[in-house]
Amino acid sequence: MASKHIPVLIDQIIDYLQPAEGQKFIDCTLGAGGYTLALKKKAGEQSLIMAIDQDEKAISEFQEVIKEKSLKNIFLINGSFGKLKNLIIGRFGRKIEFNGIVFDLGLSSDQLNDRERGFSFQDGRPLDMAFSHKEEGKTQEIVNHYKEQELLTIIRNFGEERYAARIAKKIVEERKKQNIKTTGKLKSIIEDSVPYSRHQKIHPATKTFQALRIATNEELSNLQKALPQAIDLLVPTGKVAVVSYHSLEDRIVKNFFRQEAKNCICPPEAWQCQCGHKAKVKVITKKVVTPTAKEKQANPRSRSAKLRVAEKI
Ligand SMILES: C[S@@+](CC[C@H](N)C(=O)[O-])C[C@H]1O[C@@H](n2cnc3c(N)ncnc32)[C@H](O)[C@@H]1O
């Protein structure tokens, strides 16, 4: 299937990473391969790119692209970047270091448009928001079996949805009658639980769907686990670049980079350093980088994108 995904902030990523001939990179979120291809183009045939994705389909489709384009030295790994170091060590039998590591978080347009999955709330799709087949069934498990309070917490914390309590209550009421199995059913339950006008800019189900996707794939905890591993896998002066699409992810990246750029992380009231923490990175995007108006217009999906880059000391 030809990919419809347009890579976001790709020129800025290349500008910050400055890939040089023969260098090594990890693309932690292969998707349709936009970043992998751009890195390969810049760093040449001898460069090594490890491209990871949790989604088996993304991996098999890019395998075809590699064949078609006769690309050299791109190695694909199916797995979660939450286990980044193990994936790399598993592949090489030892830890090797990279010049750059990129993350382009969330989901691709191809996943969103896939009729066999339930990322979009188009009617009649199975309620399945898992990136990997290994997690199949997880979204329905959450919606049909988690306690009301757990549902409420997911929808409020990961969706930042002000009507989380009403939505969780209605889900629990409805699932008593019949298990909720499709995106269309969940969408109509949400429409029935919140004030909703067809003229609203964003559909009232948007935040709940985002929350369930984040919970299904444990997206925030995987990001938290991956960032220190990425720093550890970089050569000195190597760079880690992260593109995120909502405030929760961006906050994790911002706070992690800030903390790792400090020589001491003791509480302000400590009269002398007791943590022994040493700065591991310097943040090279002083201000968060966002797409140009031109990119936002050409690719509306890029609207909420935020890029932060740190360089290993
Ligand atoms: C926004 S897309 C990447 C698009 C890619 N940069 C491109 O230009 O084609 C994000 C991808 O990351 C994958 N993904 C999300 N969480 C992941 C994780 N924890 N480990 C590995 N892949 C993950 C998704 O399956 C999806 O294919």
For residue 131 and ligand 1, the question of a CB distance below 6 A is answered with yes
List, as own/partner pairs, every contact residues 95-98 make where C-beta atoms lie below 8 angstroms and the sequence separation is at least 24, other chains included: 95/233, 96/24, 96/233, 97/24, 97/233, 97/234, 97/235, 97/238, 98/24, 98/25, 98/26, 98/50, 98/233, 98/234, 98/235, 98/238
For residue 32 and ligand 1, the question of a CB distance below 6 A is answered with yes
53 Cα: distance to centroid of ligand 1 (angstroms): 6
Q: 306 lies in a domain?
A: yes
Q: Does residue 191 contact residue 163 with C-beta atoms inside 8 Å? A: no
**Residues 103 and 36 placed together within one structural domain of the fold:** yes
Please give the number of the atom of ligand 1 that sits closest to the Cα of 82.
Answer: 19
**Residues 106 and 232 placed together within one structural domain of the fold:** yes
**Residues 141 and 185 placed together within one structural domain of the fold:** yes
**Residues 200 and 238 placed together within one structural domain of the fold:** no
pLDDT at residue number 1 = 65
Q: 157 lies in a domain?
A: yes
Number of domains forming the structure of the chain = 2
Report the predicted TM-score, pTM, of the whole model to 2 decimal places: 0.96
For residue 106 and ligand 1, the question of a CB distance below 6 A is answered with yes
169: Cβ contacts below 8 Å, ≥ 6 apart: 148, 193
77 Cα: distance to centroid of ligand 1 (angstroms): 12
Can you give the pLDDT of all 313 residues of the chain as single tens digits? 678 899 999 999 999 999 999 999 999 999 999 999 999 999 999 999 999 999 999 999 999 999 999 999 999 999 999 999 999 999 999 999 999 999 999 999 999 989 888 898 877 899 999 999 999 999 999 999 999 999 999 999 999 999 999 999 999 999 999 999 999 999 999 999 998 777 778 899 999 999 999 999 999 999 999 999 999 999 999 999 999 999 999 999 999 999 999 999 999 889 899 999 999 999 999 899 999 999 999 999 999 999 999 999 9
Domain that holds residue 88: 10-110+219-312
